[in-house]
Amino acid sequence: MTRFVEWCVETESAVAAHKLHRLDAQSPKIPQAVKIVADALPSFYVVPSRLAGLLAKLGKPAASDYLNTKLPMTKAIRSGDLGEILCNAYVLESTHFKRGIKRLRWKDHREMSMRGEDVLAFRLDAKGGLHILKAEVKSRASMTSSVIGEARAALSYNNELPSPHAISFVADRLGEACDVDLRDALDKAQLIGGLKHSQVTHMLFTFSGGNPSNLLTVNLNGYKGIVRQQYVALTVNKHQEFIRSVFEMVSK
């Protein structure tokens, strides 16, 4: 997927009872990172079998044109989408939460942001117990405490639990993807048993040009809730140029 280990140095530190991870992109490896991320990006917008079908039936230009109709053109939406994609990839690559959906495939319009939690990922333990990661993502060239505060507020919304709308949306999509056991676990938690705080982990993921670790540390130290927290700061020095390069490579 995005193979962060090939172009980032990751460090972990403890903040109170929680974790703060830094992912620092290495400048000499940025061209390699652009290609890796660009190769992974289409699958977040389109089911690979759909593109493969278009390629087989109509040829490469038609498949490329179809993909381009899914990709945002404005800087702000590209920045937000890529932040969400990078967070989703990090969760799948680096945590125990390996299941869920790539929700950008269901955007109403390529220049619109989606409602609800930015990323939801899931794990079923050996006894079938459901565990959920609820993530909020912020992508900025320069991160600020107020932007991080917005993400913190979103994580704390709905008594710190995933919203019913977001869970239902994922469960419906899982039925289409034939992930029936996870869908059934979500239905049961949503409609019968209810979710508990002990089942939930929060992730606040930043994608920025400067290192926001101090801001994240202050914010995390101020957290007074009872849900497990993991903050992740991905720093790419030329943030805007990186985003532009990724989307341009995909659009070729």
pLDDT in tens, 94-109: 999 999 999 999 999 9
With cut-offs at 50, 70 and 90, classify the pLDDT of residue 248.
very high
pLDDT at 116: 87
pLDDT at 252 over 80: no
Taking each helix axis as running N to C, give the angle between helix 48-58 and helix 60-70, from 0 to 180 degrees, rounded to the nearest 10: 140
Band of pLDDT at residue 66, cut at 50, 70 and 90:
very high
User: With contact defined as beta carbons under 8 Å apart, do 102 and 121 qualify?
Assistant: no
Q: Position of tokens 């759909």?
A: 50
Give the pLDDT score at 100: 94
pLDDT value at 225 more than 80: yes
- Beta strand residue intervals within the chain, DSSP E: 8-15, 18-25, 99-100, 119-124, 130-140, 200-208, 228-235
Structure tokens at 251: 């659009």
Mean pLDDT calculated for residue range 198-226: 97
The pLDDT value given to residue 181 = 93
Residues of the chain above pLDDT 70, percent: 100
pLDDT of residue 32: 97
d(CA 47, CA 35): 20
3-state secondary structure of 34: helix
- Confidence (pLDDT) at 176: 73
* Model pLDDT, residue 97: 97
- Is 194 buried (19+), middle (13-18) or exposed (0-12) by CB count in 10 A? exposed
Alpha carbon separation from 215 to 204, 243, 249 (Å, rounded) = 12, 23, 33
Question: What confidence score (pLDDT) does residue 86 get?
Answer: 98
Structure tokens at 219: 């914010």
**DSSP letter, residue 163:** P
Pseudo-torsion of CA 231, 234, 239, 242, nearest 10°?
-130
Mean pLDDT of the chain: 95
The arithmetic mean of pLDDT across residues 158-162, rounded, is 96
Query: How far apart are alpha carbons 92 and 79 in whole angstroms?
Result: 20
**C-alpha to C-alpha distance for 112 and 134, rounded to whole angstroms:** 21
* Predicted local confidence at residue 187, as pLDDT: 94
Q: What is the pLDDT of residue 193?
A: 81
Question: What length is written for the chain?
Answer: 252
